[in-house]
Amino acid sequence: MVETIAVIGAGVIGGAIARCLIKSPDSYRVIATRRRIDRLGELESLGVEVTRDNVEAAKQADLVFICVKPGDITGVLKEIAHEIDGKLVISTAAIISLDFYDTAVSGARFVRTMPNVAAFVGESFTAYSCNGRVTDEDKTVTKRLLDTMGQHQEVEEKYMDAITGLSGSGPAYVAIVIEALMYAGLKVGLPRELSLHSSAQAVLGAAKLILEGELNASQIKDAVTTPGGTTIEGIYQLEDGKLRTALMNAVVAATEKCANIRYNWNNGQ
Ligand SMILES: NC(=O)c1ccc[n+]([C@@H]2O[C@H](COP(=O)([O-])OP(=O)(O)OC[C@H]3O[C@@H](n4cnc5c(N)ncnc54)[C@H](OP(=O)(O)O)[C@@H]3O)[C@@H](O)[C@H]2O)c1
């Protein structure tokens, strides 16, 4: 049974994960680490234990999240190898393969995940892949922990770069869309708060219609677009501005960058 969880590298994603875990009704003991421990005051006030000591945190934990940047993974694995041997370890690092983890600490059972920053509000989409030693019981534990962060799905590892480029980076793309809509509202005379709120809620509402199966994307467009009406004027401008192509290019570029970074990373090891 998992009672104590260490989060190694409590930055943006690790901090969000620690927050989700400590707020969970399952009452986990959560230990978060980073070197600049003074930045963990908010987590500490929520009940998370904070320390700079990765080894002690991993030693005390039944399960370890590793949330450092890809470039820091090798050093952290070397540091805590002995403490994670035989344990379930969940990494959030982009680009790093399960094969690499297996070679680094052959006795640990690794889950590779790709969450996103919406974990802060329990709305992440987290894809995950497991190494061969991860048991059915481990998967049950993993799902229970990922539940605290939002939605999740096990995927073949070959999809991880594409997931990184799509939903890992996705909140940034959508934030740009919301910001652009907010500025558009200003341009047509809306007060700033009203403009921001109505833009973000329009995105949330459209997403809910799709996720809850009420309307698919085409049906939403059809439902809003009347012949000779206002929406078609806006859609014409979006098509003219190649919004779709820009979003597709963004995901392709981010996905390809994963392979590029991995190539440089492998050759720097
Ligand atoms: N940000 C996202 O939206 C996102 C989404 C999906 C996946 N990811 C993945 O999640 C990982 C973390 O990303 P992030 O954006 O959260 O980065 P981040 O904010 O920089 O967090 C990483 C943290 O690791 C800490 N750290 C570095 N070396 C350490 C060490 N030796 N021991 C303990 N802590 C250490 C750093 O704090 P100190 O310098 O104070 O030690 C930093 O706060 C990355 O591998 C990334 O690929 C990120």
6 ligand 1 Cβ < 6 A? no
**Same fold flag, 4-159 and 170-254:** no
The distance from CA 204 to its chain's CA centroid, rounded to whole angstroms, is 18
Which two structure tokens, joined as six digits, stand for 98?
A: 């399960």
Question: What CATH number belongs to 170-254?
Answer: 1.10.3730.10
168 within ligand 1 shell (Cβ under 6 A): yes
Write down the CATH number for the domain with range 4-159. 3.40.50.720
Predicted local confidence at residue 205, as pLDDT: 98
Q: Is the pLDDT of residue 269 over 80?
A: no
Report the pLDDT value the prediction gives residue 1, as an integer from 0 to 100. 78
Give the residue among 79, 70, 71 at the shortest CA–CA distance from 33.
79
Task: Check if 165 has its Cβ closer than 6 Å to any atom of ligand 1.
Answer: no
Per-residue pLDDT, averaged over 154-183, amounts to: 98
Instruction: Please write the tens of the pLDDT for every residue from 61-114.
Output: 999 999 999 999 999 999 999 999 999 999 999 999 999 999 999 999 999 999
Taking the domains of the chain in order of start, what are their residue ranges? 4-159, 170-254
Q: Please name the helix (run of DSSP H) or strand (run of DSSP E) that holds residue 235, with its range, or none.
A: helix 231-240
pLDDT attached to residue 267: 85
Averaged pLDDT for residues 231-245: 97
Tell me if 12 CB under 6 Å of ligand 1.
yes
Q: Calculate mean pLDDT across residues 16-26.
A: 97
| Whether residue 32 has its Cβ less than 6 Å from ligand 1 | no
For the segment 37-47, what is each residue's pLDDT rounded down to a tens digit? 999 999 999 99
Gap from CA of 182 to ligand 1 centroid (Å): 30
- Give 5 Cα–ligand 1 centroid separation in angstroms: 17
Question: CA-to-CA distance for 121 and 19, rounded, in angstroms?
Answer: 9
Letter string b/e over residues 129-158, b meaning 16 or more CB atoms within 10 A of that residue's CB: bbbeebeeebeebbeebbebbbebeeeeee
Ligand 1 atom 15 nearest Cα: 12
Does the Cβ of 105 fall within 6 Å of ligand 1? no
Give CA angle at 32 (124, 12), nearest 5°.
40
CA contacts within 13 A on the Cβ side of 143 = 9
Task: Report, as an integer, the average pLDDT of 20-25.
Answer: 97
What pLDDT digit, counting tens, does each position of 247-268 carry? 999 999 999 999 999 998 888 7
Percent of the chain with pLDDT over 90: 97
For residue 94, give the ligand 1 atom closest to its CA: 47
